[in-house]
Amino acid sequence: MKPFDVYSVFDIAIVKASGSRLWDDAGNSYLDLYGGHAVISIGHSHPHYIQRVAGQLQQIGFYSNSVKIGLQEKLAEKLGELSGYPDYDLFLCNSGAEANENAFKLASFHNGREKIVAFQGSFHGRTSLAVSATDNPQIVAPVNENAHVCFLPWNSIEALEHGIDADTSAVIVEGIQGVAGARIPSVAFLQAIERRCRATGAMLILDEVQSGYGRSGKFFAHQHAGIKPDIITVAKGMGNGFPVAGVLIGPHIQARKEMLGTTFGGNYLACAAAQAVLDVIDQEALIEAAAEKGRYLHNELLKLPRIRDLRSQGLMTGIELFEPAAGVRSTLLKEHRIFTGSASEKHTIRILPSLTISYEDLDVFIHALNHTLN
């Protein structure tokens, strides 16, 4: 047996990581400006993270949700405090796609409706309903296609009036569109979505899977617009590499036994990892750091040539070039040993570093990109 060949991979075997650095099996060092799809939020192998997860493993690694797991309550309390949503409830699961699947179910349970509104350029996951709300026909199998999902234009306030109606169960929108290349919704757009949802009784779901956990310079990217969703989904940076995700659920949505469920969600190790991440974000003031470092990176990138558009909020950046980005990314990796990310918009490089990245490492990237573009 061999792995199912579905990933395009670099011919590099990473065997060690620390902070924003990676090492391959030949001892070569790389700068990580992608964090494995925005997963590494507090840096690779953070000492506090290692201590919390290893310490938990020595006590108990797993039991099911049929017993009381006190770590879940502590995690929910800390997450509510740091995120500004102390009155919301938390359902723990394993991935962003699973979080969005459960968000759709909750919305439909709540209002009894079926229609889902998503937006052009969206990415919400690869599972059955999440992929139906993802704007990429190449990854939607025939069995995933259904009549429940419609797509509206991104950042178009005019389209909301007729697109969101009394039949709409949920509207799902990313705090920042990640896979599309760090496309940032306007404040007016998000506020208009919230107003339309309130007027029609549709549930507003904010997908903060990639843009949450301090990356934007606020805990959640939608908080830049001053709105309050009914449901928020999180994953990626939540566990710093350990598979954990969550659904933050407004107090007006009532729970009933067995309406949601998961075998592995909220297990002891996942909670320990997620608590460690929140500890570090809090103790090291990483949200404020993301805002400051993001401004620095943005301002320095503005000085470089051959950049068509620069989209950034905190440490979530899309660099759109006049040319396809693949060649530039390849040069950055092969000649400068810097990992960056791609986007569905083929001219865009995505930058998603750890929130603990140093200014010195940002300068290394800026100088390498300048050399490559010149």
**pLDDT category, 83, cuts 50, 70, 90?**
very high
* Alpha carbon separation from 130 to 105, 181, 190, 200, 233 (Å, rounded): 11, 19, 21, 22, 12
Query: What's residue 29's pLDDT?
Result: 98
DSSP, collapsed to helix, strand or coil, labels residue 324 as: coil
**pLDDT category, 27, cuts 50, 70, 90?**
very high
Q: Which residue has the tokens 């290893």?
A: 54
Query: What's residue 133's pLDDT?
Result: 98
How confident is the model over 195-207, as a mean pLDDT?
98
User: Edge to edge, what strands does the sheet with 316-321 contain?
Assistant: 307-313, 316-321, 348-351
Taking phi over 0 as left and psi of -120 to 50 as alpha, with beta for the rest, 18 belongs to: beta
DSSP secondary structure of 109-148: HHH---EEEEETT----SSHHHHHTSS-GGG--GGG--SS
Query: What's residue 339's pLDDT?
Result: 98
**Nearest alpha carbon to residue 85 among 184, 266, 231:** 231
The dihedral built from the CA positions of residue 187, 192, 195 and 201, taken in this order, carries a sign that is: negative
Question: How many CA atoms does the CB half-sphere of 345 hold within 13 Å?
Answer: 22
How confident is the model over 343-352, as a mean pLDDT?
98
* Alpha carbon separation from 190 to 96, 137, 218, 294, 331 (Å, rounded): 21, 25, 16, 22, 37
How confident is the model over 344-356, as a mean pLDDT?
98
The 10s digit of each residue's pLDDT in 221-235 is 999 999 999 999 999
How confident is the model over 259-273, as a mean pLDDT?
98
Query: What's residue 374's pLDDT?
Result: 93
Domains of the chain: 48-283 (3.40.640.10)
For residue 25, give the H/E element and its range. none
Residue 346 CB contacts under 8 Å (≥ 6 apart), including other chains: 324, 325, 326
Q: Which residue has the tokens 């938990």?
A: 56
The 10s digit of each residue's pLDDT in 30-81 is 999 999 999 999 999 999 999 999 999 999 999 999 999 999 999 999 999 9
**pLDDT category, 140, cuts 50, 70, 90?**
very high
The residues facing 24 across adjacent strands are 14
Q: Which residue has the tokens 């760090």?
A: 182
**Phi and psi (nearest 5°) for 273?**
-65, -45
Query: What's residue 109's pLDDT?
Result: 98
Query: What's residue 68's pLDDT?
Result: 97
The residues facing 91 across adjacent strands are 247
Percentage of the chain beyond pLDDT 90 is 100
Tokens of 193: 């979505």
Query: What's residue 65's pLDDT?
Result: 97
Residue 98 CB contacts under 8 Å (≥ 6 apart), including other chains: 125, 127, 245, 262, 265
Query: What's residue 206's pLDDT?
Result: 99
In the predicted model, what is the mean pLDDT of the chain? 98
Query: What's residue 275's pLDDT?
Result: 98
How confident is the model over 129-156, as a mean pLDDT?
97
Query: What's residue 373's pLDDT?
Result: 97
**pLDDT category, 200, cuts 50, 70, 90?**
very high
Query: What's residue 32's pLDDT?
Result: 98
Query: What's residue 214's pLDDT?
Result: 98
Give the CA dihedral 338, 316, 231, 166, nearest 10 degrees.
-120
Tokens of 238: 């939540």
Query: What's residue 199's pLDDT?
Result: 98
How confident is the model over 249-256, as a mean pLDDT?
98
Q: Whole-prediction pTM value?
A: 0.98
